Amino acid sequence: MRAPMLLTAWLLGLSAGRAPAPEGSAVVAVRARYLMGTTCRVTAWHEEADRAGRAAAAALDEVAAVEALLSTWRDDSELSRLNRRAGEGPVEVSADLAAFLDVALRVAAATGGAFDPTVGPLVDAWDLRGEGRVPDADELAAARAAVGFDAVRLHDGPSALDLTAPGARLDAGAVGKGWALDRAAEVLRDHGVSAALLDFGGQLLAVGAPPGADGFRVAIADPLARERPAVLLVLRDASIATSAQSERGRRVGEDLVGHVIDPRTGRPVPVLGSATAWAPTAAEADALSTAFLVLGPAASAAWVAGHPDDRGVAWLEPTDGGLTLHARGAIVPGLLRLRDDVTTDAALAAARRSR
């Protein structure tokens, strides 16, 4: 089972099946299921109790369908079957998979490859799904030669994908959960749900806000002590995702072999902090949190400054005696409270003073 989440949803006054008596007498249903190696939890409000429960269950079915499409932990997924044909030229793909690949490749291009879904050969070389290992120079060179989103060609009419690099392997690990959450939220809306919180291994997607509230109060955990919240914020009609090497990292000899790789160097990112991304869709938040961990606080802040203002970043950097928060963009207005030993960098302190 995965370690405690880096993000915690505090549904004020809520526990499974019980809710404050909000306006419009909406009732809440909470459904959860073990999917993609972690727990996916859907909390949905609706005027009719059984509609909320049915909607939440249908949303989880949609997440399960995305797992069947994208899981490279299963040989029978469409993505695994596609990976086995790397180097064979264009392979026809379903409209679903083409839509996913289009989003993943766009974020890869937008982040200069800091997020790169072709990272599979490096995940394997470092054995990030096993005990972790340090590859020798030749293994690392061979893996790096098979990685690079710019060697992937997505053709349309009919949709076909060409994994041109022999040995290439697409890995949905950094974006698949987010993609699944967006699809699940569409199912909830189709069921008439206009207020819900989806929590997938710590990634959160808010549909609207809890009835009678301005948003969901959620927390970003301390990357060095995940059971301790470091930052409290309000989330509404957006998603936040956090990446950190402490999530699934492991020690191999002297090396911290974390599960996030810098595709530009071929090595695990040597950082101890955490990067939280805020975006209008969960797929983008998921992929951006990985990219921001690779880029580091300064380059992440520069990326947010150069992109539409409904994106944001909150980088928590361990410093002497505590944490420094580098937050920029859409996440800043939602910041409610920082733990006493969490300081802000000068730019954030100025932004908060001017509010």
Stretch that binds ligand FAD, among 25-33, 42-50, 67-75, 81-89 (CB under 6 A): 67-75
CB 36, min distance to ligand FAD, A? 4
Q: Mapping DSSP to helix (H, G, I), strand (E, B) and coil, where does residue 89 land?
A: coil
Of the two residues 104 and 304, which places its CB atom closer to ligand FAD in the complex? 104
Nearest 5 degrees, angle CA 92-CA 104-CA 88? 30
By CB under 6 A, which span of 10-18, 66-74, 186-194, 220-228 interacts with ligand FAD?
66-74
Q: Whose Cβ is closer to Mg ion: residue 124's or residue 284's? A: 284
Please tell me whether residue 171 binds Mg ion under the rule CB under 5 A. no
Report how far residue 98's alpha carbon sits from residue 111's, in angstroms, rounded to the nearest whole number: 20
Q: Which of 285, 297, 327, 309 is nearest to 115 (CA)?
A: 285
Among 116, 247, 286, 345, binds Mg ion (CB under 5 A): 286
Q: Residue 332 corresponds to which tokens in the numbers above?
A: 């800043």
Only one of the segments 42-50, 158-166, 208-216, 241-249 lies at the binding site for ligand FAD (rule: CB under 6 A); that segment is 241-249
Closest CA to 276 of 309, 241, 303: 241
Instruction: Give the binding range for ligand FAD (CB under 6 A) out of 8-16, 137-145, 185-193, 284-292.
Output: 284-292
Tokens (6 digits) for 268: 């695990």
Binding residues among 244-263 for ligand FAD as defined by CB under 6 A: 247-248, 259-261, 263
- Pick one of ligand FAD, Mg ion, none as the site partner of residue 43 (Cβ within 5 to 8 A by kind): none
Q: Are 298 and 353 within 8 A, CB to CB?
A: no
Task: Measure the CA–CA gap between 58 and 64, rounded to whole angstroms.
Answer: 10
Q: Which helix (H) or strand (E) holds 108?
A: helix 95-110
In the region spanning residues 79 to 118, those forming contacts with ligand FAD, defined by CB under 6 A, are 115-117
Is the Cβ of residue 183 or residue 259 nearer to ligand FAD in the bound state?
Answer: 259
- Beta carbon nearer to ligand FAD, 174 or 209: 174
Where b means 16+ CB within 10 Å and e means fewer, 317-337 reads beeeebbbbbbbbbbbebbee
Tokens representing 201 are 């291994």
Torsion, Cα 328 225 171 64, to 10 degrees, reads -100
Please state, in angstroms and rounded to a whole number, the distance separating the CA atoms of residues 336 and 230.
11
The stretch among 94-102, 240-248, 318-326, 347-355 that binds ligand FAD (CB under 6 A) is 240-248
**Count of residues near ligand FAD by CB under 6 A:** 29
Candidates 43-51, 188-196, 286-294, 307-315; binding stretch for ligand FAD (CB under 6 A):
286-294
Residue 338 interaction partner, one of Mg ion, ligand FAD, none, beta carbon < 5-8 Å per kind = none
Binding partner at 273 among Mg ion, ligand FAD, none, C-beta below 5 to 8 Å by kind = none
SS (H, E, C) 181-222: HHHHHHHHHHCCCCEEEEEECCEEEEECCCCCCCCEEEEEEE
DSSP labels for 259-312? S-EETTTTEE----SEEEEEESSHHHHHHHHHHHHHHHHHHHHHHHHTS-TT-E
User: Which of ligand FAD, Mg ion, none does residue 276 bind to, with CB < 5 to 8 Å depending on kind?
Assistant: none
Binding site residues, ligand FAD, CB under 6 A: 36-37, 67, 70-71, 73, 115-117, 119, 123, 128, 171-174, 176-177, 243, 247-248, 259-261, 263, 286, 289-290, 294
List residues binding Mg ion (CB under 5 A): 174, 241, 286, 289
